[in-house]
A = this chain, B = another copy of it.
Amino acid sequence: MSEFRRDYVKERWVILAPHRGERPLQFSEDLKYRPRGNPTSCPFCPGNEGETPPEVFSIPGEEGETGWKVRVVPNKYPIVEGQDGVHWVIIETPDHYATVGTMSREQVLLILKTYRERLLSLKGKFPFALVFKNRGPEGGASLSHPHSQLIALRMVPDAVQRELKVYEGRCPVCLLLEREGKKPNLVLASENFTVLCPSFSAFPFETWILPRKHLLSFEESSDEILEELAEVYRKTMAALDRAVDFPSYNMILRSKPFSVNSDYHWRMEIVPRLTKPAGFEWGAEVPVNIVAPERAAETMRRHLE
């Protein structure tokens, strides 16, 4: 039987239809991430730096070493440029075969610090910026080397504006933490972060990493908070990769638009792409999720280190 669940963050209904996936935890191979290419041919691998546009930021290797640990370059085929915005690629590691779940905590921390530095560099220049990551064919990644992206725009998208409101007088994310920051939706909790599969998840194994305090902007995070987040993010991705065998996914880092003096609660949304929206989802904008979020959370918990 199906169940209607209310997404009070995006303000829409979601239909949970677990009977539509006969063996819900078996997803077809072409929805998975498998490394492609190799360090010789990959434009993001060390030694091939000349194949990308000149870098706009990098974290150098240890003293005495050459090379870099994280590198940011303009996208070769930018979605926006100039007055319209910026489109950068964040090359997350020199290692072609790494994933967030297998990286060291130190490397994940450098990625998060790069997100913070790059977002801060855009403040006052553009009203809105989004950090996101595409992994695997269904995630929309054209290159396999671990990378994320940052796009700033000259306007705040309508959907983002719509989210900037209170729900019944409360922050909807604070409400979510209060209601679902425990089993059966909880994946893990640290001092300052809660990881959960929202009851209104639109996609199987959708997982949100939430600061427990009502914090508006990711880029205002302290070093200590990013250190804790690095470990939480790494653990979450490792559990997801074990639970669903390296799914294609998108990670979306939502932070308050720079230009808006409104309330917000920053967060990371990790959305595996294990099912494809079809005519009903596109037409009614009512997602149909074939895996109960409570089952996803329980599976993730079992696969924690």
Contact = CB atoms under 8 A, between A and B. Distances in A.
Interface of A: 1-2, 4, 11-13, 15, 17, 19-20, 77-81, 84, 128, 130, 132-134, 138-141, 149, 151, 153, 155, 157-160, 250-252, 254, 269, 271, 276-280, 282-286, 288
Given A132-B279, A140-B276, 7 more contacts: A4-B155, A17-B79, A79-B280, A132-B280, A140-B279, A149-B279, A151-B284
A267 B84 CA distance: 33
Contacts of A81: 1-2
A120 B28 CA distance: 39
A12 B159 contact: yes
A278 B140 CA distance: 5
Contact of A130 (B78, B149, B280): B280
Contact of A277 (B11, B15, B140, B149): B140
Contacts of A19: 77
A130 B283 contact: yes
B158 A13 contact: yes
Contacts of A282: 132, 250, 252, 271
A158 B285 contact: yes
Contacts of A4: 84, 155
Given A77-B19, A284-B153, A279 B133 contact: yes
A279 B134 contact: yes
Given A17-B79, A79-B288, A285-B158, A151 B280 contact: yes
Contacts of A134: 278-279
Contacts of A20: 77, 79
Nearest to A276: B140
A257 to B, nearest CB: 10
A11 B158 contact: yes
7 contacts: A1-B81, A2-B78, A2-B80, A128-B284, A141-B278, A157-B286, A158-B285
Nearest to A252: B283
Q: Which 8 A-B pairs have the closest CB atoms?
A: A140-B278, A132-B279, A159-B285, A252-B283, A250-B279, A157-B284, A134-B278, A12-B158
Nearest to A155: B13
A121 B132 CA distance: 45
A281 to B, nearest CB: 8
Contacts of A277: 140
A149 B280 contact: yes
Nearest to A281: B140
Contacts of A11: 158
A85 B231 CA distance: 44
A77 to B, nearest CB: 5
Contacts of A141: 278
